[in-house]
Chain A
């Protein structure tokens, strides 16, 4: 097993990078081709829409748009990175690993890549929802796809 440890410096850089320069933030050019779901929070400013495009058994695009705090924006942006190109099974696997990590349960590090920057979110209980809301909303949308 490769031991893959991110130091705090790298974690900070990853989060700030995805917060300041999100790759998947905005409304898709052709929103009608996307599934859409809303996510928001009682105790944070987060209030955004998520978009998912699923074709031929694969996620071909994922985006989100609205108001988001540092934690939710960076985590959702990384989520979009991770999901694009994956089939449904793999997508669920990644989301499950992330949720397990946040809940401080055993998880598969290798599935998470940059999302490992959120490894210690459980220490700030008040912010777990910020870190996970994009992920749980995306999982809901995936469940609805191609039934």
Chain B
């Protein structure tokens, strides 16, 4: 069921000498919001003793757009394009999570072909998200450009697929309650197959760049260790939780969509450090490629929309529903309460990257400033989702 990360010899890091000279003297540094590696507009107030982080206070809200309140004042359908703007790297999975919770609320069936298309698009999203994360993380470590360019080259191919299907590279707005908006033709499927078949070449390249690289190992091993206990207590999900060795994946636990039909393993880490989190992404990409191959093989013909669903004046019955999926960054859930009207009474998002960010201080304490950037990169945040 699971795959584990190979362990490598740890590499000695030179001791930081600055700390001893400035013992007891704290200096407060504000990092961000316009820092190149804060992944958007995120600020940290760091109290430093020499180079060592003694306190860290995240400050966010710079990108707050009132997403939840807007959701309560818009029709159910009208919120769908707004969900694209949450985690703008993975609009397909955001769409799916929102569609899933509305479908739960209103008891809507989704046709088989649409379910397959959703799995295909969600896994493609996972590929491009993890690929770009690896690129960003290496670029945070100082490998300026090269790995990021390779990652974006692959991402671009997947975004082209999204564009030719949904009309937009990032703001896909593709799923609808009870299905998907546009059908994928046979040539789209062919293109997707070709890209998926070639994708392992990129993962191999990335692993060659990363796995044995002494600099990467020195910068990431034993940095930002997260214990399984703290991770569970803090509600961490996604690759970050699995890097601590906790076997929890909503795809397996809930079996939403058609995931129980596919064979795949859940990669698990052991130490919960940055290196494990990094390798987790590479292993997950391999499993995603496996799911995609099966899905592209099996996808049946048929309708992609449930014909009973109305587009206009859609009113689900009174009730509440929580739909969650395994987004690339963790468990993404939408909690909706309906009072029978055209707008939800309450609209709540459970954003994975926001909750994963809550342990940032625990990860960074005792490490140097330079490590903070690497740790933050390995958490995988997108500010659109953190601030909403």
- Is the A/B pair a real complex? no
Residues of B within 8 A of A (CB): none
